[in-house]
């Protein structure tokens, strides 16, 4: 039996939460029944290994009714869109589980078949947090599995985008893996087979050379036809769009090398440059791969469909049904439960709405409405269920139109390289051609037999592939450096745009301030330990965010509570062990405003008919953000746009220098207009914001930086995602981006040095394959080293993690 | 010396086998989720070991 007792302080064996009121089982303590249930399930299924890999690996399990949340999984029409594969009764379905975080999660989820009957197997993709379950539909259902997962603390998340058109999974990256493998294979083997050519001159191996050449010739075919195909495609794209990209001279050099080598082999004039050719292709593929490494768990291009749930509950002829969002029609009656998102604009017909629009507007105050009021899509109902009558369909609602208004900036994908690479490669190509031509002219007068030999040698040895390598390798290193420090960039291009920034615009709520952890102070007559317990208990019963924050702040053992009465967004009253207690707004407790000029919002406490004092809430500035902002203001002009009105004005004034533009009461549209006006007047903007209310501004800015507490949360479309805790490193990131440019230039210089050495041989018509075969890998490797060491040193000097 | 030709062909065949293994692993998605595989190797079924203490608890109750 479970012995239930309390002690002062302990840590939950399952989830690691600190608790003052633990439930004990054997020698282990748990913070809540949810966690204990999971432990019991694991224990009875012999899965306690879960606790061996990591300490307290579990997720805190909130006991809540989730039936209506997964009701759509019982709807065949929805289910069929979600199913990946179906054969007889075997169904493959994948669940997105945002709570997955450690190796224990993997262990538990892949042993799901031991817990849930009918599950045949499950496989977790850890980096995408996606669990693919194969189950027998005669024994269990998608709904049952979703419930079981929720019970274990992994509530699956389905969004509207899951049922939309399935985006083609990137087969391109696999193709690149294949090409890299083939290129590596041929490069290695051709190098090996070329040794007799270099060293066996005059020995009895000489007679074998033709055989070796034939093998090499066979091996080079897949390199030139298959591995190099992406360079052809990019070069052709450049020609079609009439602009010179770096791929065109590369392809030209590759083809010249190939045909001259073929010519040499067939005329028995030499061995050709096949080893260099395959090496170049291999290194270039490697560089591009490093640069284009993506973060699988992060999505940069979310639209409203990933924010909305798949379905909602509608009320029809006295019954509740689940209906897909896309099928909601005007005049459907919807039921919105506690903490659910309102999917369409509509009229409130039943219940009292307390709506949190902070994601849409940036205003953290709750909006209250009585029946007859107009609710907007994107708001989150806080409190009991409400009924609304849809007045628009999903695609016509305000939230969606906000998203659609954004003119999307889509760069042409056929130009993967950055501007200064384009420029550098253009000059490079021009210089190269003039050297080739003057070499040709020189030899045509002195020794015409050397003409073709020297001209093609110039073009072979001075292939601009080294330029490409310096850029791709450096980009790759910096992308991973930024990611290690909490800044996730959409691609190499966004990294370069960091250097154009002249102006930084901040959002307030959720960016400068932390909404989930306000600073709470108490003002009034002192409360006893018992009274604090009582306040903590009653605060826990409320749904108001301030009360919830208070209960978390006090962290008290809940007492026995009776007669709880919630007065929405005004306050709450209850009896606790014979004491009458009220907490709420100033009017609610019947207080005359004695303490004037309160900054932020307050929660008043009245115990046994006597007003005792007030808990004050101030938004907390993110730690260490002040110095970071001061540092940024030295180099950039700053602005701060807030959706809120006056609250917290003084703390904002404290951290921003005087010349900052501080604007309050900004609607999403105002923010967008402000950013776009700056952009037009020639100040490239970095917009730092979170939430949908900044979506327009993020899109309109040169660099849109979305702030999030956790990368698996939903962020609006942006160029980069930054962890809230990494925001104070922003000055260092901006310096680092500048250093990246220097490193690229240094590697450029090195590659040009190598080219000069090669050219000095080539113009004399003396480039023999062995020199090419030494120069090419040497230059590639030294560039790779310089960019790697350079990036590490620059991150280290800035105090960033490496 | 013609034995070298045979050796060369064989060495290329060996290398080709490795290439094939690489292509197969890329195709079956083994490079897509490196973290999960690193964790998975730590997990093994300890069912037989774990059963014993469990039954003893039941007896004690």
Chosen for mutation from B3, B5, B9, B12 (greatest number of chain A CBs closer than 10 Å) is B12
Contact between chains at B61 and A207 (C-beta distance less than 8 A): no
Contact between chains at A53 and B16 (C-beta distance less than 8 A): no
Residue A584 has pLDDT above 50, yes or no: yes
* Mean pLDDT score across all residues of chain A: 80
Residue A385 has pLDDT above 50, yes or no: yes
Q: A153-167, A408-422, A616-630: which has the highest mean pLDDT? A: A616-630
Q: Any idea what the Cα angle at residue A716 is, between residues A692 and A601, rounded to 5°?
A: 40
Q: What ipTM is given for this predicted complex?
A: 0.75
What residue ranges of chain B have pLDDT lower than 70? 1, 44-61
Provide, as residue numbers in chain A, all residues whose Cβ is less than 8 Å from the Cβ of B60.
none
Contact between chains at A48 and B50 (C-beta distance less than 8 A): yes
Residue A514 has pLDDT above 70, yes or no: yes
Between A545 and A594, the more confident residue is A545
Provide, as residue numbers in chain A, all residues whose Cβ is less than 8 Å from the Cβ of B47.
46
- Class of residue A408 by CB neighbours under 10 A (exposed 0-12, middle 13-18, buried 19+): exposed
Question: What stretches of A577-669 adopt beta strand conformation (E)?
Answer: 579-584, 601-607, 610-621, 637-641, 661-663
Residue-level pLDDT at A697: 84
Residue-level pLDDT at A730: 92
Task: Tell whether A128 is within 8 A of chain B (Cβ).
Answer: yes
Q: A525-529, A711-715, B17-21: which has the highest mean pLDDT? A: B17-21
A13-61 pLDDT, tens digit per residue, is 887 776 666 778 777 887 777 778 788 888 887 777 778 777 777 777 6
Residue-level pLDDT at A183: 95
> pLDDT band at A223, cuts 50/70/90?
very high
All domains of chain A, ordered by start, with CATH? 1-63 (no CATH), 72-163 (3.30.70.100), 172-292+416-475+738-797 (no CATH), 311-392 (2.70.150.10), 486-513+622-736 (3.40.50.1000)
- For A107-161, the three-class secondary structure string (H helix, E strand, C coil) is HHHHCHHHHCCCEEEEEEECCCCEEEEEEECCCCCHHHHHHHHHHCCCCCECCHH
* Residue showing tokens 């230039």: A745
Least confident span in A163-167, A336-340, A755-759: A163-167
Gap from B7 CA to chain A (nearest CA, Å): 11
Residue-level pLDDT at B53: 39
Q: For B46, phi and psi rounded to 5 degrees?
A: -105, 25
Q: Which residue in B has a C-alpha nearest to residue A183's C-alpha? A: B19
Contact between chains at A215 and B35 (C-beta distance less than 8 A): no
Residue-level pLDDT at A9: 59
Contact between chains at A125 and B23 (C-beta distance less than 8 A): no
Residue A406 has pLDDT above 70, yes or no: no
Residue A114 has pLDDT above 90, yes or no: no
Q: Would you list the domain boundaries of chain B?
A: 3-60
Residue-level pLDDT at A361: 65
Distance CA A81, CA A285 (A): 37
Kindly calculate the radius of gyration of chain B based on its CA atoms and give it in whole angstroms.
Answer: 24
Residue A506 has pLDDT above 80, yes or no: yes
Contact between chains at B31 and A177 (C-beta distance less than 8 A): yes
Facing A185 at nearest CB: one of B2, B15, B47: B15
Contact between chains at B8 and A126 (C-beta distance less than 8 A): no
A146-163 pLDDT, tens digit per residue, is 888 888 888 888 776 666
Gap from B38 CA to chain A (nearest CA, Å): 9
> pLDDT band at A784, cuts 50/70/90?
confident
Q: Which residue in A has a C-alpha nearest to residue B9's C-alpha? A: A215
Task: Tell whether B54 is within 8 A of chain A (Cβ).
Answer: yes
Least confident span in A54-58, A428-432, A469-473, A728-732: A54-58
Q: Which residue in B has a C-alpha nearest to residue A108's C-alpha? A: B43
Gap from A177 CA to chain B (nearest CA, Å): 7
Task: Tell whether B7 is within 8 A of chain A (Cβ).
Answer: no
Gap from B12 CA to chain A (nearest CA, Å): 7
Provide, as residue numbers in chain B, all residues whose Cβ is less than 8 Å from the Cβ of A282.
none
Between A361 and A197, the more confident residue is A197
> pLDDT band at A232, cuts 50/70/90?
very high
Chosen for mutation from A106, A173, A223 (greatest number of chain B CBs closer than 10 Å) is A106
Which residues make Cβ contacts (< 8 Å) with residue A357, sequence separation at least 6? A363, A367, A376, A378, A379, A380
Distance CA B22, CA A510 (A): 46
Which tokens go with A504? 């930084």
Task: Average the pLDDT over A355-381 and give the result.
Answer: 76
A369's enclosing H/E stretch is: strand A366-369
Gap from B50 CA to chain A (nearest CA, Å): 6
> pLDDT band at A732, cuts 50/70/90?
very high
Helix, coil or strand: residue A314: strand
Residue-level pLDDT at A305: 66
Residue A493 has pLDDT above 80, yes or no: no
Q: For A339, phi and psi rounded to 5 degrees?
A: 65, 20
A487's enclosing H/E stretch is: strand A487-489
Least confident span in A65-74, A590-599, A787-796, B3-12: A590-599
Task: Average the pLDDT over A94-114 and give the result.
Answer: 83
Residue-level pLDDT at A294: 61
Contact between chains at B39 and A43 (C-beta distance less than 8 A): no
Distances from the Cα of A359 to the Cα of A356, A363, A377, A394, A800, angstroms: 8, 8, 11, 17, 31
Gap from B14 CA to chain A (nearest CA, Å): 11
Task: Tell whether B17 is within 8 A of chain A (Cβ).
Answer: no
A553-563 pLDDT, tens digit per residue, is 887 777 777 78
Task: Average the pLDDT over A724-745 and give the result.
Answer: 89
Contact between chains at A181 and B8 (C-beta distance less than 8 A): no
Facing B1 at nearest CB: one of A193, A208, A212: A208
A759's enclosing H/E stretch is: helix A730-763
Residue-level pLDDT at A168: 46
Chosen for mutation from A124, A128, A181 (greatest number of chain B CBs closer than 10 Å) is A181
Task: Tell whether B33 is within 8 A of chain A (Cβ).
Answer: yes
Facing B8 at nearest CB: one of A124, A177, A215: A215
Which residues make Cβ contacts (< 8 Å) with residue A191, sequence separation at least 6? A275, A279, A773
Task: Average the pLDDT over A701-723 and give the result.
Answer: 77
In this complex, how many residue pairs, one in chain A and one in chain B, have their CB atoms less than 8 Å apart?
Answer: 77
Q: Which of residues 155-214 of A touch B (CB under 8 A)?
A: 174, 177-178, 181-182, 185, 188-189, 192-193, 204-205, 207-208, 211-212
Q: Which of residues 406-465 of A touch B (CB under 8 A)?
A: none
């Amino acid at each position: 039996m479970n012995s239930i007792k309390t002690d002062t302080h302990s840590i939950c064996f399952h989830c690691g939460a600190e608790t003052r009121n633990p439930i004990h089982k054997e020698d282990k303590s748990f913070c809540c029944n949810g966690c204990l249930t999971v432990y019991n399930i694991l224990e009875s299924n012999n899965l306690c290994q879960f606790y061996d890999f990591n300490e307290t690996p579990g997720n805190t399990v909130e006991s809540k009714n989730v039936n209506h949340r997964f009701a759509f999984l019982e709807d065949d029409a929805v289910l069929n869109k979600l199913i990946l594969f179906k054969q007889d009764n075997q169904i493959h379905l994948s669940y997105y589980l945002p709570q997955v975080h450690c190796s224990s999660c993997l262990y538990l989820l892949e042993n799901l078949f031991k817990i849930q009957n009918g599950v045949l197997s499950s496989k977790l993709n850890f980096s995408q947090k996606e669990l693919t379950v194969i189950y027998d539909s005669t024994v269990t259902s998608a709904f049952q599995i979703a419930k079981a997962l929720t019970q274990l603390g992994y509530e699956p998340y389905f969004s509207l985008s899951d049922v939309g058109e399935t985006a083609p999974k990137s087969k391109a990256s696999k193709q690149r893996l294949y090409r890299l493998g083939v290129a590596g294979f041929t490069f290695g083997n051709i190098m090996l087979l070329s040794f007799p050519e270099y060293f066996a001159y005059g020995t009895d191996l000489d007679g074998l050379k033709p055989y070796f050449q034939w093998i090499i010739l066979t091996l080079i075919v897949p390199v030139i036809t298959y591995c190099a195909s992406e360079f052809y495609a990019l070069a052709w794209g450049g020609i079609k769009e009439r602009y010179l990209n770096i791929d065109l001279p590369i392809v030209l050099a590759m083809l010249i090398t190939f045909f001259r080598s073929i010519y040499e082999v067939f005329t028995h004039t030499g061995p050709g440059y096949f080893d260099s050719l395959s090496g170049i292709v291999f290194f270039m593929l490697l560089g591009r791969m490093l640069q284009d490494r993506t973060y699988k768990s992060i999505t940069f291009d979310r639209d409203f469909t990933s924010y909305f749930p798949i379905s909602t509950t509608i009320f029809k002829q006295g019954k509740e049904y689940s209906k897909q969002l896309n099928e909601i029609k005007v005049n459907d009656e919807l039921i919105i439960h506690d903490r659910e998102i309102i999917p369409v604009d509509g009229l409130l017909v039943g219940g009292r709405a307390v709506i949190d629009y902070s994601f849409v507007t940036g205003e953290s105050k709750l909006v209250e409405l009585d029946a007859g009021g107009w609710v907007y899509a994107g708001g989150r109902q806080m409190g009991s269920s409400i009924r609304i009558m849809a007045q628009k369909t999903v695609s016509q609602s305000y939230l969606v139109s906000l998203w659609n208004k954004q003119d999307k900036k889509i760069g042409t994908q056929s130009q993967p390289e950055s501007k200064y690479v384009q420029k550098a490669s253009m000059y490079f190509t021009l210089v190269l051609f003039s050297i080739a031509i003057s070499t040709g002219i020189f030899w045509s007068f002195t020794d015409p037999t050397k003409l073709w030999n020297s001209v093609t040698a110039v073009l072979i040895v001075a292939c601009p592939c080294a330029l490409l390598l310096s850029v791709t390798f450096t980009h790759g290193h910096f992308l991973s450096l930024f990611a290690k420090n909490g800044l996730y960039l959409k691609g190499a291009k966004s990294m370069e745009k960091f250097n154009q920034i002249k102006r930084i615009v901040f959002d307030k709520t959720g960016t400068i301030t932390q909404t989930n952890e306000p600073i709470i102070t108490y003002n009034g007559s002192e409360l006893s330990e018992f009274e604090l317990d009582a306040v903590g208990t009653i605060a826990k019963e409320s749904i108001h965010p301030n009360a919830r924050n208070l209960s978390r702040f006090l962290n008290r053992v809940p007492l026995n509570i009776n007669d709880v009465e919630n007065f929405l967004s005004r306050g709450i009253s209850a009896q606790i062990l014979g004491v009458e207690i009220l907490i709420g707004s100033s009017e609610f407790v019947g207080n005359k405003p004695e303490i004037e000029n309160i900054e932020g919002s307050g929660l008043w406490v009245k115990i046994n008919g006597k007003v005792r004092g007030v808990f004050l809430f101030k938004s907390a500035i993110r730690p260490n953000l002040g110095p970071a902002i001061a540092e940024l203001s030295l180099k950039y002009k700053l602005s701060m746009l807030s959706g809120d009105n006056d609250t917290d004005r003084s703390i904002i004034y404290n951290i921003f220098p005087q010349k900052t533009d501080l604007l309050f009461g900004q609607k999403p549209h105002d923010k967008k207009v402000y950013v776009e006006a700056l952009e037009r007047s020639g100040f490239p903007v970095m917009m730092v914001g979170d939430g949908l209310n900044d979506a327009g501004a993020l899109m309109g800015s040169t660099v849109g930086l979305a702030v999030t507490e956790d990368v698996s949360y939903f962020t609006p479309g942006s160029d980069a995602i930054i962890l809230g805790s990494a925001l104070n490193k922003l000055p260092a990131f901006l310096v680092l981006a500048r250093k990246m440019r220097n490193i690229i230039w240094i590697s450029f210089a090195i590659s040009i040095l190598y080219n000069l050495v090669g050219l000095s041989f080539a113009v004399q018509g003396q480039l023999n394959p062995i020199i090419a075969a030494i120069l090419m890998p040497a230059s590639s490797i030294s560039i790779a080293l310089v960019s790697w060491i350079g990036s590490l040193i620059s991150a280290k000097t800035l105090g960033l993690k490496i | 010396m013609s034995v070298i030709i045979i050796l060369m062909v064989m060495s290329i065949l060996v290398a080709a086998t490795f290439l094939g293994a690489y292509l197969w692993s890329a195709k079956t998605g083994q490079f897509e989720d490196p973290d999960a595989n690193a964790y998975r190797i730590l997990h093994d079924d300890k069912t037989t070991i774990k059963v014993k203490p469990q039954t003893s608890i039941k007896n004690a109750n």
